[in-house]
Amino acid sequence: MPLVRIDIKKNPDPTYVARVGKVVYQAMKSAINVPEHDNFQILGEHDGDHFIYDAGYLGINRTDKLVIIQITLNEGRSIEQKKSLYKTIAGGLREALGVSPEDVFINLIEVKKENWSFGNGIAQYAG
């Protein structure tokens, strides 16, 4: 059960960030086998004073179209699956929304299964 946070600089198109979320969800389904309906996202848009980034860190040229994606998920995916996820997200955003791969920043946070409660105060995945 991934929990996805997507942050962007305010976009004039009110549907834009939700469309980014759809691309990310489709990429997770295809690259790391996230099941259908396992879609939990927090979408944020920020003014320039609250969306800060280094435009040239590590020699990557970023613009105000930067998309920052943080995915918290269960541990256990291989490095190959993670690389596939990064590539699938970046390619999907380029194809669907014209986002340059340089403007796609992704961070994965892996946790143990017992660290989730999906509701009712129960750790559904705990043994």
Q: What is the CATH number of the domain that holds 10?
A: 3.30.429.10
In a domain, 127, yes or no: no
Compute the 3-state secondary structure of the chain and give helix, strand, coil in percent, each to the nearest 5: 40, 25, 35
Name, in order, each residue with C-beta under 8 angstroms of 88's C-beta and a sequence gap of 6 or more.
Answer: 27, 30, 31
One of 2, 12, 14, 101 is an active-site residue; which one? 2
* Dihedral sign (CA 20, 42, 76, 60): positive
Q: What is the pLDDT along the chain (127 residues), one digit of tens a residue?
A: 899 999 999 999 999 999 999 999 999 999 999 999 999 999 999 999 999 999 999 999 999 999 999 999 999 999 999 999 999 999 999 999 999 999 999 999 999 989 998 899 999 888 7
- Is 2 catalytic? The answer is yes
In a domain, 13, yes or no: yes
Question: What is the model's pLDDT at position 43?
Answer: 98
Question: What is the model's pLDDT at position 96?
Answer: 98
In a domain, 32, yes or no: yes
Residue 77 in contact with residue 32, Cβ under 8 Å? Answer: yes
Q: Kind and range of the H or E element at 44?
A: strand 40-46
* Domain total in the chain: 1
In a domain, 124, yes or no: no
Question: What is the model's pLDDT at position 1?
Answer: 81
